[in-house]
Amino acid sequence: MGFNVKLARLTSLFAFVCLLSAVSAQDIVEGQLEDPEPGTAAVAADAALTDNVILQRLNLASPNCITPRVTGVVRGYIQGYVRHKTDRSKTMLGRRLTYFPLFEQKLKEYELPSDLKFLSVVESALNAKAVSRLGATRLWQFMPATGKEYDLQQSTVVDERSDAVKSTDAAARYLKNLYKIYDDWALALAAYNSGPGRVNAAIKRAHSRNFWTIQRYLPQETRNYVPAFIAASYICNYFYLHEIDPEVPEFDEQLTTYIKVYEPITVKSIADATGVDLNVVRNLNAGFKKDYIPASTDGYYLLLPQRVMPAFIRYLNDQGGEHQYLLDENIRYIGTDYGDGKYAHITVTVSQSTDINSLAEKYGCHAEQLKTWNRLTDTRVEAGQKLRIWRPIRVLKHDNTRIEAPAAASKKPTATKPAAKPAAAAEAPAPAPAPAPPPAPVWHTVQRAETLSDIARQYNVSESRINMLNKFSTLKVGMRLKISE
């Protein structure tokens, strides 16, 4: 056997061993990468994905709060994403469309590097229900004590470590505090994983403040933590080069916003008031354990699709509680069909070359969403390029049979004083009231991943009734269904 062949096999075996040790060190029960299946070691030696190629790509991905470095552990993690656990990679990459806009908003608020969002990929694979064997929980994997230190309530009803808004705010504050201690993001991330005490002890033993130098004095999981972060940055930036097609969530889980609620309310009441599927409300708000938001003087964050926030605010104000909720007066309602539409798209022609982040900000979405909708891979958009942009059709009021158009709902009858009747007219019998016009039929356009059960539940009708009115065999996206005659 030639030396080169032996070296190639040793390299493959080393990458596989690194992957096993790196991934198992994450200690996550639900939501993260697991050990690769036996017999997949040969795939780790991917000739096209050399260290130089990985490093060049990482250097092009901007910004980088940690100077990119390629090691066996980094390669092992990347191979795990692109070769061994592609289904989990697809799920995680789809979730980034839900969470990255929120993460970046909070990181910007605290003047932190935007690529720190990849830390949640390492911690939970963006799974809001992930739990570790050690008790760390959800997107940012807060341990109970650290969660309490950063004001995350934990009870039998609510666990704010699962609150996407509040836990992200807490993670940003924690990271900012760690960076103040170390003035180095690699050390700050290591301390996020194992605590400042272990990092300080490793610094003392190694007589160095360089992560790669003190690495051997850290617990194994923490040694692999920064390499895992580098690999997460790589896969989120370059998944398309490995033919990984993300599982894209519904628009209702992409274009979201949040509000702080003070009064008690059930998740079912939220779904009924907005028309949003009950499971979507649950997915976006995993912190409420019992499908119930208790009363609170401090309030709890509620994440909902942007399109239904006006309807939900109107519902809250109609309940007569102590708090009055304000609606953003700058909301622009687009589209003309408010009877069955949830989202409308516009096509824009780029007037001059620009960065995709600037373009996304202009149209009220996120760069990753804009890239996904148009299957873009570059961060630069050229002049003359046509892009499709999806926008929510805002719902002002929802009920089980129709969605009220904002223009119609805002028209209030004008109170006028009736003119005095002549005496003769006063004695004349009142004319019979005109018969009420028959109600207009209600229609629904089938959305992506929507089932007949979802539609029936939304309009409070039976599935058999919808089948009888439409006589179809297969439900297809874009199909227009009659809900009532």
Give kind and range of the element (H or E) at residue 303: strand 300-305
Is 188 part of a structural domain of the chain? yes
> What pLDDT does residue 70 have?
95
Q: What is the mean pLDDT of residues 447-468?
A: 73
> Where residue 256 sits, what CATH number does that domain have?
3.10.350
Q: What is the mean pLDDT of residues 415-432?
A: 43
457: three-class secondary structure by DSSP = helix
Q: Which of 392, 422, 449 is the last residue of a domain?
A: 392
> What pLDDT does residue 134 have?
67
The count of structural domains within the chain is 3
Cα 211 from Cα 376, distance rounded (Å): 35
Confidence of residue 85 (pLDDT cuts 50, 70, 90): confident
Lowest mean pLDDT among 148-152, 195-199, 425-429, 474-478: 425-429
Q: Count the neighbouring beta carbons within 10 Å of the beta carbon of residue 427.
A: 8
Is 302 part of a structural domain of the chain? yes
> What pLDDT does residue 457 have?
66
For the stretch 25-39, pLDDT in tens is 333 333 333 333 333
pTM above 0.75, yes or no: no
> Does residue 132 share a domain with residue 72?
yes
Is 453 part of a structural domain of the chain? no
Q: Strands, DSSP E only, in 341-464? A: 343-349, 354-355, 380-381, 386-392, 397-398, 403-404, 442-445
> Does residue 271 share a domain with residue 184?
no
Is 126 part of a structural domain of the chain? yes
Concatenate the DSSP letters of all residues of 36-85 into one string: PPTT-GGGG--TTS-HHHHHHHHHHSS--SS-----HHHHHHHHIIIII-
Average pLDDT, the chain: 80
- % of the chain residues with pLDDT over 90: 54
Q: What is the mean pLDDT of residues 369-388?
A: 92
Cα 386 from Cα 382, distance rounded (Å): 9
> Does residue 146 share a domain with residue 115?
yes
- Residue 50 pLDDT > 70, yes or no? yes
For the stretch 298-331, pLDDT in tens is 999 999 999 999 899 999 998 888 888 887 655 5
Lowest mean pLDDT among 186-190, 299-303, 337-341: 337-341
Is 360 part of a structural domain of the chain? yes
- Residue 180 pLDDT > 80, yes or no? yes
> What pLDDT does residue 106 have?
95
> Does residue 20 share a domain with residue 64?
yes
Top pLDDT among 400 and 162 is at 162
Domain that holds residue 364: 343-392
- % of the chain residues with pLDDT over 70: 76
CB distance 367 to 356 below 8 Å: yes
Residue of 162, 160, 150 whose CA lies nearest to 192: 150
210: three-class secondary structure by DSSP = coil
Distances (CA, A) of 240 to 93, 245, 247, 375: 10, 7, 13, 10
Distances (CA, A) of 133 to 137, 221, 404, 424: 9, 14, 48, 87
> Does residue 208 share a domain with residue 288?
no
Confidence of residue 338 (pLDDT cuts 50, 70, 90): very low
Confidence of residue 284 (pLDDT cuts 50, 70, 90): very high
Q: What stretches of 110-224 show up as alpha helix (H) in DSSP?
A: 118-124, 144-149, 164-182, 185-194, 196-206, 211-214, 220-223
- Residue 188 pLDDT > 90, yes or no? yes
> Where residue 75 sits, what CATH number does that domain have?
1.10.530.10
Confidence of residue 339 (pLDDT cuts 50, 70, 90): very low
Cα 89 from Cα 251, distance rounded (Å): 20
> Does residue 111 share a domain with residue 40?
yes
447: three-class secondary structure by DSSP = coil
Top pLDDT among 42 and 333 is at 333
Angle at 14 between CA 13 and CA 18, to 5 degrees: 120
Is 409 part of a structural domain of the chain? no
> Does residue 208 share a domain with residue 177?
yes
> Does residue 195 share a domain with residue 76?
yes
Q: Which of 242, 274, 294 is the last residue of a domain?
A: 242
> Does residue 138 share a domain with residue 21?
yes
Is 484 part of a structural domain of the chain? no
> Does residue 294 share a domain with residue 212?
no
The position carrying tokens 């894209």 is 248
> Does residue 238 share a domain with residue 93?
yes
> Does residue 271 share a domain with residue 200?
no
Is 473 part of a structural domain of the chain? no
Q: Which of 283, 301, 318 is the last residue of a domain?
A: 318
Lowest mean pLDDT among 42-51, 175-184, 419-428: 419-428
